[in-house]
Structure 1
Amino acid sequence: MNTIANQIADFLKVYAPFKYLTYEELSNIASTIRVLNLEVNTTLFQVEETLHDCFYVVASGLVNLSVIVDAEETILNKCHEGALFGLRPFFAKNNYTMTAKAREESIVYAIPIAVFRPFVANNTEVLNFMLENFAVNTHNSKDKESMHNNQISDTVYYTGQTSEMQYFQTLSYNNQPIIVSPFSLVQDVAQLMAESKNTSAIICKNNLPVGIVTDKDFSSKIATGRVAISAMVDKIMVAPVLTVLENISLAEAQLLMLKNGVTHLCVTKDGSDQSVVKGVISEHDLVVAQANNPGVLIKEIKRSQTALELKQIRLRMADLILTSIQKNIPLTHLTNIASEINFALLKRAIELSILDIGSAPTRFAWFSIGSQGRKEQLLFTDQDSILVFEDVVPEKYRETKDYFLNLAQKTTSILETVGYPLCPNGHMASTILWCKSLSDWIKQYTNWIHTPGENSKDLSSIFFDYEIVFGEQKMEDALNDTIFKNGDKNTLFYDFLGNDALRKNTPLTFFKNFHVEEEGPNKDKFDIKTRALMPLIDGARLFAISHGIRGINNTYMRFKQLAIKDPKHAEVYLECAEAFLFLSKLRTLEGVKNDTSGQYINLEELSKIDKEKLKNALAPMRDLEHLIKDTFQLTQFS
């Protein structure tokens, strides 16, 4: 191997996705790479240009990817050293949709696609990385409103949850495919495809798929004159057709297409060619699904310049959650993903507010409280937040607090536009009570803990479920220290929290029937939030604080941690954890189905089995209630 190829391999091994390959594999690839020296303003490819047989990596310099919007060049991405671009030939067949131009003297490596394709097909990490890069650089590239004056930050890549999600993330696809017989005329099939704007047709015999024809077959076999347009479609079809199950994940579909060199997959009832056709998945469907990947959504959030842009991303998150829930993706996984996206939206709202009103006069932290603070928010619920700012000299206090109230009001207004309703109880950082200095917050929590009965009007247990969204970590550490120091062996505090947890109305009557609403718009419905979820949330919080469990706010995770911390009662905690998951999923499904918060369950719509499952999920609450009474020696309500 020559010295130049060695140097190229050494360069590439530092960057994704090449770092996922062995040095031997890299060396083989490097020996086929062309080195391009680009002068300033040299165009490598442009909009509508025919696709190249290679993709590119910046070795040095800067290459801009851009489109023309309203007669104005808009930068999509700036590609610095190590950045990939020009991936379209891998994942799409139509011409380039953007222009790549050197903004300074640059060296670019051109990597032949034919050489690199096998490494993509056989290495999931390489595939995930390249698809995400492609989706990020292409999504909404022709959307004038979202692109106009929207300078996009330098290339950023996401790891962790993003790749994992692709194994769960399901696909939306054409569930009304064109189905024809092997004896149909090519001309008739072509007309059907053109009229319905489909890129494929499935050929079936006795209602079972035997082949597929795509627009590629028409261009390569009919347009070239190899087969007459009057021939029957079985003369140009590809057989057998590759069949898959309905619930195939994004990553699985990507790998199958690449490994088999196909552009379409036939969806059948049992995943084989011996069952009826349910739909067709195309390459385009993969690109659309990839654009809703959590990592891509988070990157788009960071680029967003307006509340309306953030709102569109939040709606796409809702679609992601809906399809994931319907496909039985684990709820714990979904809440993690939703929380990351929610927190990114909240953080960007704060950043946009700061850009509007100017830098903060001192350091601060914004906290989500309640369901957001517990990272349990899947459905659209209202805002709950507090703001803590660093202590300042007395003469600066009023001015400093005014700034942060202004910041909070702008932020909550943006979040309301995005789709987070204002908290009806006023538990928001934009309220004068919940925007304070660190010293004031320490006094507030100390008072709540030592004299809870006297301050019960102000004390809401959601203030003990918080997660930092933006700002200084030391603020969260200070609040934790205050709570656990003052809460240690504080009988009065645990008496108050314990009785508060027990005060919730029981979910079942003496005769094991559901307690339902007796009047109002939700008459005869079951309040799953107040009667089932809240007692579990309150119990988990109470025991977590009393056992000194820091940094875990999520109810499910609190119960799991309690089972480790207090093995004597592990069975109760673990049953409560599973009950919480089941009840949360039931509430989410109700909310998604009716576009509500899911708080009230229509029992008439539940099957007999589901009703029994619901009753079984409520059973551990009785054991939790007894454990609270025994542990904290509670005999009556405060």
Structure 2
Amino acid sequence: MNNTISIRVADFLRRFPPFNAIDKTDLENLAAEVSIVYRDKGSAVFQTDEAPHECFYVVHKGAVILNNKENNSLLDKCDEGDIFGLRPLIANENYKMDAFAFEESILYAIPLNAFRPHTQKYEDVGNFLIESFASNTRNPYSIKEKGQLVSGSVAPKITPTNTVLFDFQQVTYSKKIVSCTKTTTIQSLAERMTKRKVGAMLVLEDKLPIGIITDKDIRNKVATGLLPISAKASEIMTSPVITYPKKMTVAQAQMAMMKSNISHLCLTEDGTVNTAAAGILSKHDLMLTLGNNPAVLMKAIKRARKIKKIKLIRKSIMNLLQGYLDQNIPMTLTSRIISELNDACVKQVTNLSLERMSSPPPVKFSWISMGSQGRSEQLLHTDQDNALIFEDVEESELANTTKYFLKLAKHITKGLMKIGYEYCPAEMMGSNPKWCLSLSQWKTAVSHWIANPGPEEVLLSSIFFDYNLVYGEKELIDQLTEHIFEETSTYPIFFRHLASGALQNPSPSGFFRSFLVEDDGAHKDFFDLKRRALMPLVDAARLLILSHKIKSINNTAERFERLAELEPNSQELFLACSYATKALLKFRTKQGLLHNDSGRFIALDTLSKEEKIKLKRTFKTIKELQELIKVRFMVANLLG
């Protein structure tokens, strides 16, 4: 007689990934192992620091809230068909969050041991779990959640309880292999493992791995008396060896250990036992790799009590950036994550600077980043562009209030300099009285730029209009943004002047599509990637998005993607501009990391033919974009 309950469970599960990739018989067998869990509203499924259960959960009816206990913030809400509670089992660590029933709920508890074989048998099941961890969504195939985190926001937000893209990082493994033959005695190999301080030893034959012996094997088979210490390695080893290619990501390593329920992986050149061993990856190695992920770095930034500590963390951020570039992680995600970590550094410097002040701020204020950092495009160590806006005060209090915030701004800019952001040569920083103003003063300054758009005013507005709130009151920023749009509506001629400024950057190429290089100065014969290629795209995106009165999109690539939605007739061009922006930003970042500089000036003779071709492909897009701007805003021919 059929188990009608298990059949009902199977019928429910096959409606959702990854269970829909499992055939009917296997799914019904799995369903027979499932336990049904009932939870009243408000009752816990598991709590922070609780040891992991031997199962993970699927919501059948009701809803479950995942909550960060440290700051009592909502991380996610799991509804019908959503999976939760799996990561702690993979990471072999206690739960890092609370799970409570949001309402009366029925859950299916799926035993990990019963589920594990299906991750090996069905490739789609394993891929689903890897991709769900890597994308940080409950369902990586969900269009609604694609590219988003549990918060549902467009841009990734890094918290200590989510891991964003660290799953894409390649694992660090031990290349110093300790090995023996199958005739080596257990006593001898145990002594060697103790001397070399390793937890696993490979058994080799003709330099190829045929078995592996771990501390656990010695405890379970020798310490219990099952085998004497004089026995041979062949009697204790696990064989055949489960092997993987040496280039593994964190997510793949987690999945591999979970699938086979093992704590050590043998890595070979091609991932098979037919090539020599390249190293061993232990669960301890994996945990060390996890320690250099964005979530851990974010937590370290927030805990930093000294500027020197933040400077050290920034070095780790650069290592993370290099890893993302090496692994070809999408540039949009890379720039968001690195920018958010950089913003966190600035925010913590601001916190430490506030602690140095003799009194709290007299009124509310906002610290904003401008230029490339305001666009979330400042991946390398460049100079500062920032400003401070404070709440309006009575005229009698203005001088003292300004004095307070200038002192605070000097602490902040000095701290930023110490962690790697050089002072702005043009002094466009909050420590400059011209860039430390009340909201009304800022409105007056912006109105002047828009109503009197000379070359200097256009330059100032082009820098200032790419601003991003890093610390303080969002309301002040919103009011200033509203004022900018009101003023541009009053003075539409401003857009023509802004367009003229956007067209001042010279063409990237000359006759025969050759690169135009610098004629003189310190960078003679170098190609200025920023001025000739990136800035035309940045300036055009800013102009066009402002003309559409679109708020809260500062990133250049994202601006072009939004423009593609707003203007279907120019969709192909704008999407090409978005691609070109990301390609150029990635190229500049790679060059900067390679030469330990800003990546702005490129020595063309160091580029491969392929690299030159990729760069030139973006030039045609830039030319088409500038032609569109020239026609749309009726600008005289400035492209000669």
Q: What is the TM-score with the length of structure 1 in the denominator?
A: 0.75
Alpha carbons of structure 1 residues 6 and 515: separation in structure 2 relative to 1, 3 Å: closer
In the TM superposition, residue 629 of structure 1 has moved relative to its aligned partner by 0.7
CA distance in 2, matches of 1:524, 1:409: 38
Quick one: which amino acid aligns to residue 336 of structure 2?
Answer: N
2:495 is aligned with 1:497: no
**Match runs of 1:346-425 below 5 Å:** 346-357=346-357, 358-425=359-426
Out of 29, 45, 50, which is 1:13 matched to? 45
Alpha carbons of structure 1 residues 341 and 221: separation in structure 2 relative to 1, 3 Å: same
Q: Which residue of 1 aligns with 2:611?
A: 610
CA contact (8 A) 1:9 1:23 kept: no
Q: Which residue of 2 aligns with 1:259?
A: 259
Quick one: which amino acid aligns to residue 334 of structure 1?
Answer: T
CA contact (8 A) 2:449 2:458 kept: no
CA distance in 2, matches of 1:174, 1:554: 40
CA distance in 1, matches of 2:435, 2:162: 34
List per-residue Cα deviations over 1:287-325 (Å, max 9, x = no partner).
Answer: 112222222222222222111222222222211111121
CA contact (8 A) 1:170 1:247 kept: yes
CA contact (8 A) 2:160 2:298 kept: no
CA distance in 2, matches of 1:216, 1:225: 14
Q: Which residue of 2 aligns with 1:620?
A: 621
List per-residue Cα deviations over 1:188-207 (Å, max 9, x = no partner).
Answer: 65565455544333334344
In the TM superposition, residue 489 of structure 1 has moved relative to its aligned partner by 7.3
2:518 is aligned with 1:486: no
CA distance in 1, matches of 2:589, 2:61: 47
Q: Which residue of 1 aligns with 2:201?
A: 201
2:209 is aligned with 1:177: no
Quick one: which amino acid aligns to residue 634 of structure 1?
Answer: V
In the TM superposition, residue 601 of structure 1 has moved relative to its aligned partner by 2.4
Alpha carbons of structure 1 residues 279 and 496: separation in structure 2 relative to 1, 3 Å: farther
CA distance in 2, matches of 1:202, 1:600: 49
Q: Which residue of 1 aligns with 2:542?
A: 541
Q: Secondary structure at the match of 1:391?
A: coil
CA contact (8 A) 1:170 1:324 kept: no
CA distance in 1, matches of 2:300, 2:619: 41
Farther-moved stretch of structure 1 (172-181 vs 312-321): 172-181
In the TM superposition, residue 615 of structure 1 has moved relative to its aligned partner by 1.1
In the TM superposition, residue 379 of structure 1 has moved relative to its aligned partner by 1.4
In the TM superposition, residue 470 of structure 1 has moved relative to its aligned partner by 1.3
**Match runs of 1:450-461 below 5 Å:** 450-453=451-454, 455-456=456-457, 459=460, 461=462
2:596 is aligned with 1:600: no
Alpha carbons of structure 1 residues 451 and 344: separation in structure 2 relative to 1, 3 Å: same
CA distance in 1, matches of 2:230, 2:61: 48
In the TM superposition, residue 618 of structure 1 has moved relative to its aligned partner by 2.2
Alpha carbons of structure 1 residues 196 and 420: separation in structure 2 relative to 1, 3 Å: farther
Q: Secondary structure at the match of 1:210?
A: strand
Q: Which residue of 2 aligns with 1:54?
A: none
Q: Secondary structure at the match of 1:371?
A: helix
CA distance in 1, matches of 2:222, 2:162: 42
Quick one: which amino acid aligns to residue 609 of structure 1?
Answer: E
Alpha carbons of structure 1 residues 535 and 241: separation in structure 2 relative to 1, 3 Å: same
Alpha carbons of structure 1 residues 564 and 454: separation in structure 2 relative to 1, 3 Å: closer
CA distance in 2, matches of 1:549, 1:467: 15
Q: Which residue of 1 aligns with 2:297?
A: 297
Farther-moved stretch of structure 1 (507-516 vs 456-465): 456-465
Alpha carbons of structure 1 residues 120 and 324: separation in structure 2 relative to 1, 3 Å: farther
CA contact (8 A) 2:449 2:461 kept: no
Quick one: which amino acid aligns to residue 438 of structure 1?
Answer: L
List per-residue Cα deviations over 1:42-95 (Å, max 9, x = no partner).
Answer: xxxxxxxxxxxxxxxxxxxx9xxxxxxxxxxxxxx9999xxxxxx9999689xx
Q: Percent identity?
A: 36
CA distance in 2, matches of 1:233, 1:20: 37
Quick one: which amino acid aligns to residue 214 of structure 2?
Answer: T
Quick one: which amino acid aligns to residue 590 of structure 2?
Answer: L
Alpha carbons of structure 1 residues 499 and 161: separation in structure 2 relative to 1, 3 Å: farther
In the TM superposition, residue 540 of structure 1 has moved relative to its aligned partner by 0.8
Alpha carbons of structure 1 residues 359 and 116: separation in structure 2 relative to 1, 3 Å: farther
List per-residue Cα deviations over 1:142-161 (Å, max 9, x = no partner).
Answer: xxxxxxxxxxxxxxx96699
In the TM superposition, residue 178 of structure 1 has moved relative to its aligned partner by 3.6
CA distance in 2, matches of 1:390, 1:377: 28
Q: Which residue of 1 aligns with 2:30?
A: none
CA distance in 2, matches of 1:299, 1:544: 35
Alpha carbons of structure 1 residues 248 and 437: separation in structure 2 relative to 1, 3 Å: same
Farther-moved stretch of structure 1 (310-319 vs 438-447): 310-319
In the TM superposition, residue 253 of structure 1 has moved relative to its aligned partner by 1.5
CA distance in 2, matches of 1:379, 1:480: 28
2:335 is aligned with 1:338: no
Farther-moved stretch of structure 1 (608-617 vs 429-438): 608-617
CA contact (8 A) 1:267 1:278 kept: yes
In the TM superposition, residue 453 of structure 1 has moved relative to its aligned partner by 0.6
**Match runs of 1:240-255 below 5 Å:** 240-255=240-255
CA distance in 2, matches of 1:422, 1:20: 51
2:629 is aligned with 1:633: no
Q: Secondary structure at the match of 1:278?
A: strand
CA contact (8 A) 1:268 1:279 kept: yes
Tell me how many residue pairs correspond in the alignment: 536
Q: Secondary structure at the match of 2:424?
A: coil
CA contact (8 A) 1:161 1:337 kept: no
Q: Which residue of 2 aligns with 1:213?
A: 213
CA distance in 1, matches of 2:404, 2:114: 54
Q: Secondary structure at the match of 1:359?
A: coil
Alpha carbons of structure 1 residues 559 and 92: separation in structure 2 relative to 1, 3 Å: closer
In the TM superposition, residue 553 of structure 1 has moved relative to its aligned partner by 0.3
CA distance in 2, matches of 1:582, 1:554: 14
List per-residue Cα deviations over 1:159-202 (Å, max 9, x = no partner).
Answer: 69934424323322223434555455656655654555443333
CA contact (8 A) 1:212 1:241 kept: yes
CA contact (8 A) 2:257 2:263 kept: yes
Alpha carbons of structure 1 residues 198 and 514: separation in structure 2 relative to 1, 3 Å: farther
List per-residue Cα deviations over 1:120-147 (Å, max 9, x = no partner).
Answer: 979969x979x9xxxxxxxxxxxxxxxx
Alpha carbons of structure 1 residues 262 and 532: separation in structure 2 relative to 1, 3 Å: same
Alpha carbons of structure 1 residues 209 and 509: separation in structure 2 relative to 1, 3 Å: farther
Structure 2: gaps of 5 or more residues? 1-36, 63-68, 74-86, 95-109, 120-127, 137-156
CA distance in 2, matches of 1:119, 1:391: 64
CA contact (8 A) 2:243 2:271 kept: yes
Q: Secondary structure at the match of 1:549?
A: coil
Quick one: which amino acid aligns to residue 588 of structure 2?
Answer: R
In the TM superposition, residue 262 of structure 1 has moved relative to its aligned partner by 1.1
